[in-house]
Amino acid sequence: MKKLVALFLAAMMLCASVVALAETPEGYPEIREGIDFGGKTIYIYDYWTSEAQAARKDDPNEEEQALYDYRDYIMEKLNCEIIQIQKGGWDTNVQELINFNAAPDDTLCMYILPPDFVGSPMVNNQFVALNNEGSLVDWSDEKWNKGVSDFMTMDGKLYGVYAGADEPRQGLYFNKRVLTEAGIEWESIYDMQAEGTWTWDVFEGMLKQIHKDIDNDGVTDIYGITGNNTDFALISVFANGASFFDFDENGKLVSTINSDAGLEALTWAKNIWNTYSAPQPEGTDWNFFEDLFETGKQGFCCHQSYAGFNDGAVYSDMEDEWGWVAMPTGPKGTGYTHIATNNVTVIPSAIDVDTANKLAYVFDLWSNPTPGYDDEDAWALQYYSRVSDDRMIEETYAMLRHTGVMNKSLYLGDTNGVLGQDFLWNLFGSDPAAIIEAKTPAWEGALATFNAQ
């Protein structure tokens, strides 16, 4: 891939140019005739872009300038201004949309929402169905994330979309030195992942090798694993081919965690964690495990990709080298996955369908990769200077971008509210079947409300 990257960088230098808006520049999409917004402003309301972030830079680099040029082309051709900016917060942007529907005006807008809050408004007709007969967009195009499209489709109607691949979430970081000193060839984990033989049994065998009381004083010196135990339990369920909620043959959302695969996953996660995990030091915050992993006394750490791959990530200055692999598959699992939490773009139902179709077309153009910077491997460029080996980029990260699953518990609310409190947060000190039984009445009430809407 590095050779591809080098060629891509060279190509970018050749592609950078000033856009001539009088005609369609090379690599740009043709714009449909007959769409004219009369100079109006179109708002794409997200929950993170400040006014300062939305403003264009005075000294953009070549890629930023290419993006500005492309967006100028769209706006000139459609006779509009497009502004992406924050409206509400992570947990309030959906209420902003509902408020707009309750008292609509002539604002042309669409909203980007976290998936945690779309269930109730979706079944209560707060969003326009995008795949209507007059749609101007091919929603089956591969640019639209299939997992999100499936999640946002009910009764054949598509209510929200996401452009692009997943941002990988749960995975296992491993300390290369700790594994080597335990007699484990860490490269073998990547090999097994590639071969499909990276399983729960293999993983537990490694934990047994790592977890040690070195000086025989009765105190564990090297722990097998640390991390976010809620994430560990969540991904264990999906790694074993199970789920927490799904639709039955009648199209009703039902609880599915009490299946054999679900109970097996929760039991395995509890036993692994209670046997091999490092305890939380007294007085520390929820992310105490980040510091623990950096101490070099933990073999594995269950954490999301941002901890290692993002700019300024918590493990970016870790002394020991580390790697990152997918969660191993359980005996009933069918492949390596993570729980995708992609944002969804929706259009308020107060906007008429004809206008909504034109707005959806705008978002289709807006969400395209910048022409000249749209190589299929471009996503990887930023990571080579941030991480300690190429295989975690070219194998783990590349694979998980396309294997995420959307957790249908989000139809009922955010993950902590539906699955955390009184359930997963109690798993490691309780019997899995017992906590499912205790949580069932609350779930049944929420499901009854959802299915009746």
Other CB atoms within 10 A of residue 432 CB: 22
What's the pLDDT at 421?
Answer: 86
94, HSE (Cβ side, Cα atoms, 13 Å): 20
| Bridge partners (DSSP) listed for residue 346 | 111
My answer on whether 203 and 144 are in the same domain is no
My answer on whether 110 and 32 are in the same domain is yes
- Token digits of residue 250: 């009648």
DSSP per residue, 376-426: TTGGGGGGTTTSS-SHIIIIIIHHHTT--EE-GGGGSS-HIIIIITTTGGG
Q: Which residues contact 250 (CB under 8 A, 6 or more apart)?
A: none
Which of 58, 57, 31, 51 lies closest to 368 in space, CA to CA? 31
- Asked if residue 236 is part of any domain, the answer here is yes
Q: How far apart are CA 370 and CA 347, in angstroms?
A: 23
What's the pLDDT at 20?
Answer: 40
Q: Do the strands 339-340 and 41-46 form a parallel or antiparallel pair, or are they unpaired?
A: unpaired
- Asked if residue 363 is part of any domain, the answer here is yes
Q: In total, how many domains does the chain have?
A: 2
What's the pLDDT at 18?
Answer: 39
| Bridge partners (DSSP) listed for residue 175 | 322
What's the pLDDT at 9?
Answer: 43
My answer on whether 138 and 65 are in the same domain is yes
CATH number of domain containing 87: 3.40.190.10
| Max Cα–Cα distance, the chain, nearest Å | 79
- Asked if residue 263 is part of any domain, the answer here is yes
- Asked if residue 406 is part of any domain, the answer here is no
- Asked if residue 361 is part of any domain, the answer here is yes
Structural domain span for residue 214: 170-337+412-452
- Token digits of residue 437: 């039984």
My answer on whether 130 and 237 are in the same domain is no
Q: How far apart are CA 17 and CA 371, in angstroms?
A: 11
My answer on whether 215 and 104 are in the same domain is no
What predicted TM-score, i.e. pTM, was given to this entire model? Answer: 0.89
- Is 126 in contact with 349 (CB distance < 8 Å)? yes
My answer on whether 434 and 298 are in the same domain is yes
What's the pLDDT at 75?
Answer: 98
Other CB atoms within 10 A of residue 284 CB: 11
- Asked if residue 372 is part of any domain, the answer here is yes
My answer on whether 433 and 291 are in the same domain is yes
What's the pLDDT at 6?
Answer: 41
- The list of the chain residues with pLDDT below 70 reads 1-22
User: Phi, psi at residue 41, to the nearest 5°?
Assistant: -95, 135
Q: Which residues contact 140 (CB under 8 A, 6 or more apart)?
A: none
My answer on whether 346 and 243 are in the same domain is no
Q: Do the strands 108-113 and 344-346 form a parallel or antiparallel pair, or are they unpaired?
A: antiparallel
| Bridge partners (DSSP) listed for residue 405 | 339
- Asked if residue 364 is part of any domain, the answer here is yes
My answer on whether 146 and 215 are in the same domain is no
My answer on whether 157 and 174 are in the same domain is no
- Asked if residue 353 is part of any domain, the answer here is yes
Q: How far apart are CA 180 and CA 324, in angstroms?
A: 15
My answer on whether 292 and 325 are in the same domain is yes
DSSP per residue, 90-120: TTTHHHHHHHHHHS--S-EEEEEE-GGG-HH
Give the H or E element holding residue 387. Answer: none
My answer on whether 205 and 150 are in the same domain is no
Burial classification of residue 248, based on how many CB atoms lie within 10 Å of its CB (0-12 exposed, 13-18 middle, 19 or more buried): exposed
Structure-token match 């070219």, residue found: 394
